[in-house]
């Protein structure tokens, strides 16, 4: 039987990864957080002062980046050249620069190539911005998630707080989400857009269990 890819796209902090993890756990699939890959590349660029306007520098940097996922309880842990960077990639310096880095054509080509390889012969749930449109346009099940921007900012703010961050304000989180949504939907290279065949899931008023039940019902016929 052929492997199954479930694609989840949508705006920033819509709960894509929460749903993706829950689905993967329930179905025994591998969860891949494509955003973590763009974030890890961004961290490398920041640390090494890579100028995104310089294509040669970007191309060279990409050759020196090795990303790996380590699944532990369906939490995605990512390493950058062997170093665990899962927490650092969630902080504001990366969040503020990731949309610019991820808009670069060479960065996208490399990440998409790696993502397609990961889904080749395995059952996976992958979340991101262009999974249903560019990475796996033939995925049989695609979700497009959205939620009220204020709710999204509050959720992300609470998440940062629970991780001990107390330097970033709710306003800054809101601004960052708005900025990333704008940048992600208006960029030239595979912008964030709903695939025609993606199922819309607005979770503003849904619990995590309700979202999981909804998604399982849609995935059911393909199992
Ligand atoms: O999913 P997350 O919010 O962690 O993604 C961080 C950023 O990475 C997004 O704002 C977007 O700029 C970029 N991204 C992307 N394509 C993906 C996943 C993430 O461009 N498939």
What digits encode the pLDDT tens for the residues 159-173? 899 988 888 999 999
* Dist CA 179 CA 190 (whole Å): 17
Q: Is 90 helix (H, G, I), strand (E, B) or coil?
A: helix
| Strand ordering across the sheet containing 199-202 | 30-33, 124-128, 5-10, 141-146, 199-202
Q: Is the dihedral of CA 87, 10, 176, 150 positive or negative?
A: negative
Name the residue of 32, 87, 89, 128 whose CB sits within 8 Å of the most ligand 1 atoms, as the mutation to test its pocket: 128
At 71, list the tokens: 């699944």
- Rounded distance, CA 221 to CA 98, Å? 36
Name the closest-CA residue to atom 16, ligand 1: 129
pTM greater than 0.90 (yes/no): yes
pLDDT of residue 15: 94
- State which ligand 1 atom lies nearest to the alpha carbon of 130: 21
| Mean pLDDT across 42-69 | 98
Average pLDDT, integer, range 66-70: 94
Can you state the angle between helices 170-186 and 149-162, rounded to 10 degrees?
A: 120
Mean pLDDT of 128-156: 96
Task: Give nearest CA residue, ligand 1 atom 3.
Answer: 12
ipTM of the complex: 0.99
Give the nearest ligand 1 atom to 33 CA: 1
Q: What is the pLDDT of residue 115?
A: 97
Across the chain, mean pLDDT equals 95
Residue 71 has pLDDT above 90, yes or no: no
Residue ranges around ligand 1 (CB below 6 Å): 12, 34-35, 38-39, 98-99, 102, 128-131, 180, 184
- Residue 9 CA, closest ligand 1 atom number: 21
Distance between CA atoms of 119 and 65, rounded to whole angstroms?
20
């Amino acid at each position: 039987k052929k492997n199954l890819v479930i694609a989840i796209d949508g705006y920033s902090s819509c709960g894509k990864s929460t749903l993706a993890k829950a689905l993967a756990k329930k179905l025994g699939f591998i969860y891949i957080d494509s955003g973590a890959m763009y974030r890890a590349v961004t961290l490398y660029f920041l640390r090494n002062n890579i100028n995104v306007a310089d294509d040669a520098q970007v191309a060279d940097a990409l050759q020196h980046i090795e990303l790996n996922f380590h699944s532990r309880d369906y939490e995605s842990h990512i390493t950058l050249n062997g170093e665990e960077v899962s927490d650092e990639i969630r902080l504001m310096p990366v969040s503020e620069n990731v949309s610019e880095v991820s808009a670069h054509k060479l960065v996208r080509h490399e990440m998409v190539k790696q993502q397609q390889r990961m889904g080749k012969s395995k059952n996976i749930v992958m979340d991101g911005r262009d999974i249903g449109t560019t990475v796996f346009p033939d995925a049989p099940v695609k979700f497009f998630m959205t939620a009220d921007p204020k709710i999204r900012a509050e959720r992300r703010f609470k998440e940062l707080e629970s991780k001990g961050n107390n330097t970033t304000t709710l306003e800054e989180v809101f601004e960052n989400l708005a900025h990333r949504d704008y940048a992600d939907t208006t960029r030239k290279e595979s912008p964030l857009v709903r695939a025609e065949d993606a199922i819309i899931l607005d979770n503003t008023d849904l619990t995590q269990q309700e979202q999981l039940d909804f998604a399982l019902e849609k995935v059911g016929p393909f199992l």
